[in-house]
Every structure is written in C-alpha cells, then in structure tokens.
Amino acid sequence: MQLCKVQRASAARSSRASRGQRVEVVCSSTAKFFVGGNWKCNGSVASVCKLVDELNAGTIPRGVDVVVAPPFIYIDYVMQHLDRDKYQLSAQNAWIGANGAFTGEVSAEQLTDFGVPWVILGHSERRSLCGESNEVVAKKTSHALAAGLGVIACIGETLDQRNSGSMFKILDAQMDALVAEVKDWTKVVLAYEPVWAIGTGVVASPEQAQEVHAYLRQYCAKKLGTAVADKLRIIYGGSVSDTNCKDLSKQEDIDGFLVGGASLKGATFVTICNAAGPKAQP
C-alpha cells in the first residue's frame, strides 16, 4: 500500500484561490483509472443509437474502468446494445430513499434490480437547479451504497467561492457531509468538478486541478485514514476534452475524469478513455 507524502510549496507558486500555502499530496490511487461519461439531458433515439455504435467501435484499455450515464429514458436501449465488456452503465440520479409514493423519482433499489451498477449523485446542476444540499447528497449517497450501487459523488466550488478564498471551506463542508454518512468508501468515486468550468469551455489548468485533488486526498487521509485515501479514486470534471485530457492525466492525484459534453461524441470520448497512459493497470 502506498503512503501519502505531504509536501508544501510556497504561496507564490500557489493558485490565487488557495490564499495561502499550497499543499501537494503525492498519493496516487491504487485502483483503476476511471472515466465517466455524463450525457445529461441530451439525446434522441437516433443520436443515442449513433453514439452507442461509435462507442462500440472504439478500443478501450482493459486497465481503465469506463462508465456512461444516459438519460433514464434511454438506459434500456443502451443496456441492450452497448458493449458491456468495455463499458459499464450509470444512472444520473437516484431518490434519497426506497420505493414509495414519490412521483417522478427512481430509487437505488430499482436501479440495482434493473442491473445498473452506478449512479452519479450531487452533481452541481442537481445542487444548484434542484436545491440539493450537502446533507441531502450525503444521505442519497449512503442509501445508494446500501442498495448496492457504486456512487460517483460530485463536489466543487463556484467561481465566486474560488475567487473569494472560500474554496477549501466549501469543499470541506461538502466532504464533511459525506464523511458523516458514508461508512464504506470502497464503491465511491469522488468527482471534483469546479462549477465555473462545467460546460463553459473553461478548464482548470493541470496545476489548479492537481492542487485541489491533492487537497482532497490529504483531507481523506486525515478523516478516513491513508488506507482509504490510497485507494479512493478522485477524478476531475470540468470541460475535459480530447485536447487537454493527457496533460490532466499526468497529474499525480488525478485518477480519471467525469466528462460532460465531450462524452456525446463517440470518438472524442474514446480518446479521453485512452488518456490514462501508465496509470492504466495491466
């Protein structure tokens, strides 16, 4: 098992968001590189059929876990036609509890029953547009894990929060809520998504992304222990593309990506899945 090695660099080399000393934690995950494709509320019957065909034609390294998250209405088609030797399926959301009189919701139990192994929870769009609090996201995560799902748990800050110097405080609050509810982290993938870089075409520099990933791994080492921090996959999401994925993947504490718009283009997404380099397990 790898151990976390904490290093401090001067404030002059820190991004302005940190407002102090930069913490670099060299502690790479020992798990597989992970790439998720979040299709969000996009697609038609024709475009989903085309995308599935493009994905099936692509070559995916066996040392990389790849998960795609179609809209609920297309999950059955994707499940029936996607090459499951290359790709796993995820839902984009799940209800906070079990089955019941909750019109419009889909429970974790139903996803498990249908054979969907993953779910994305706490995405910034759910937090901002649907009012999901840190506590709600944490409880949804705990319930989904108890139902047998793997969870891609999303956290991240807005541009105002980053520029005001409160970025780490915001991330701490999001993580504190998860730590209070989640007891077993073996089926959790943590997705850091700076809200200001989602769907904007603006991407954090590799150094900015590494700084936050390092901070999050150090947080996990302190709160959960180095055994969990070593194995926890912390992935980056924020306008990841086929042109920046290789530079991002070279950062020590980035264990993969959660891809938005670029996941709707089969060839582009396959290129991103192949960006792991030496991090892909043999």
Catalytic residues: 123, 193
Q: Which amino acid is at 240?
A: V
